[in-house]
Amino acid sequence: MGSSTRPARATASSGASPRRIILLGATGSIGASTLDLIERNPESFVVVAIAGGRDHAALARIALAFRPEFVAIRDESAYAPLKEALAGTNIQVAAGREAVIEAATREADLLVSAIVGAAGVEPTHAAIEAGRDVALANKECLVCAGVPFMRAAREAGVRLLPMDSEHNAIFQALGGADPATIERMIITASGGPFRTWSKEAIENATVAEALNHPNWSMGPKITIDSATMMNKGLELIEAHHLFGVPASKLDVVVHPQSIVHGLVSFADGAVTAGMGAPDMRVPISHCLGFPDRLAAPTPRLDLAAIGSLTFERPDYDRFPSLRLALDALAAGAGLPTVLNAANEVAVEAFLAGRIAFGGIARHVAEAIDAALGNGSAKEPATVAEALGVDHIVRERSRAILAGR
Ligand code: NAD
Ligand code: MG
């Protein structure tokens, strides 16, 4: 957990100066939830820099409302309309890859990493190297480049706060215990929209069906990952790196109500769990306020109203993506990097209507076989090396899936 024993900085509620926040992925789902909480606690936070992908109108609206010093947009063709929308303000505007990195490395107390996909790796890594504490929503950072990414955080002495709900729940369930002393770490999965569907029905599920998540409202990529259950596989890889726990101690249990998010069991048989209503503002609040608690307008848990909580084992036959991720985690050797890149491109192809739902897992399996077959699979030593592998796999996947 980075250097979590380091004394806390001025905290959100201590009456000290407001905490300076950088928000990468401001126009997304996590971005919106983060801004909602900041807006409700205006004396505790100031947004110093924001970054987004290509929605210049949404980014301009956020900039006008929160008045950051700096706004970055990744898509260079969006620079002119963004600049125009912010004309007459003193907000600095820039576009392109370097601009997102500049946003990530501004002076701040906490960076919220909520860009989707491997696109988040480079700016988040730059922020760590610049000494920024990070609240990590972007799990792809750890799937693509886990070992060098965690090493960079250790070397920079920064704190990594888990914003993904399961990991945040586990962080809280650990209660300060050293993860090395635990017996098992369990994350729950809702099972997604196809939990009870047959294999044949899942194979040909439509985009609308796959985007219809029962419990969580999220961006499109993670929503498709939840439907294939790749999301749970990515989260196991994330937990392995974040908490330094071997794959053999990690487990998944399907829990359709999404009330218990993560559990830790100890050598004496005691189990602690992190629970809460399925609203991302719960873990986001925890990260923004840490080590204090923010008052958040999130739904309160009423267990008697819910009545029963149920649990099942995952079905690897109907959800082969979960098996692929577990195998990649066990094998190491850079296979999670390959898995992540191939999955991102396959999810894009599914959302664009070019491949069947079942084609996502088939493509990922084929990309892993290809990497094993040509002997190119090895553990990336640096973040740059991981991004190099990501790029090669991505290009290959695009070429294969383009014509479909
Ligand atoms: P989203 O699609 O709603 O938003 C993604 C954001 O990233 C947008 O602001 C977009 O403009 C920006 N972006 C995309 N490509 C970019 C690029 N190349 N450069 C700069 N910005 C870029 O996604 P989301 O659901 O908010 O998820 C964000 C991350 O958080 C993902 O890694 C996801 O796995 C993780 N996460 C999300 C949730 C959730 O509830 N949404 C829960 C847990 C973890
Ligand atoms: Mg999660």
Protein residue closest via CA to atom 32 of ligand 1: 138
Q: Which of 170, 368, 321, 343 is nearest to 250 (CA)?
A: 170
- Name the residue ranges covered by the structural domains of the chain: 19-138, 167-402
Residues 6+ apart with CB under 8 A from 265: 182, 183, 184, 185, 186, 271
Q: Which of 317, 314, 313, 312 is nearest to 202 (CA)?
A: 317
pTM to 2 decimal places: 0.96
Residue 15's pLDDT is what? Answer: 56
- Minimum-distance ligand to the CA of 343? 1
- Residue 285 tokens read as 């609040």
C-beta of residue 87 within 8 angstroms of C-beta of residue 60: no
Residue 2's pLDDT is what? Answer: 41
CB neighbours (10 Å) of residue 402?
10
Residue 12's pLDDT is what? Answer: 46
Residue 397's pLDDT is what? Answer: 98
Tell me the CA–centroid distance for residue 216 and ligand 2, in Å.
10
Tell me the CA–centroid distance for residue 92 and ligand 2, in Å.
34
Residue 51's pLDDT is what? Answer: 99
Domain 167-402: state its class.
Answer: mainly alpha
Ligand 1-lining residues (CB < 6 angstroms)? 25-31, 51-53, 55, 74, 100, 114-116, 119, 137-140, 164, 216, 218-219, 221-222, 280
Angle at 220 between CA 214 and CA 225, to 5 degrees: 70
- pLDDT beneath 50: ranges in the chain: 1-13
Residue 6's pLDDT is what? Answer: 41
> Which fold, 19-138?
Rossmann fold (3.40.50)
Tell me the CA–centroid distance for residue 162 and ligand 1, in Å.
15
Residue 176's pLDDT is what? Answer: 93
Q: What share of the chain is helix, strand, coil (3-state, %, to 5)?
A: 50, 15, 40
CA atoms of 104 and 211, how far apart (whole Å): 30
Tell me the CA–centroid distance for residue 141 and ligand 1, in Å.
12
CA atoms of 278 and 280, how far apart (whole Å): 7
Atom of ligand 1 minimally distant from the CA of 221:
2
Atom of ligand 1 minimally distant from the CA of 73:
20
- Minimum-distance ligand to the CA of 117? 1
* Helix, coil or strand: residue 191: coil
CA atoms of 154 and 214, how far apart (whole Å): 37
Which residues sit opposite 112 in a β-bridge?
23, 135
Tell me the CA–centroid distance for residue 195 and ligand 1, in Å.
24
The one-letter code for the residue type at 379 is E
Could you read off the pLDDT of 210-255 as tens digits, one per residue?
A: 999 888 889 999 999 999 999 999 999 999 999 999 999 999 999 9
Residue 70's pLDDT is what? Answer: 98
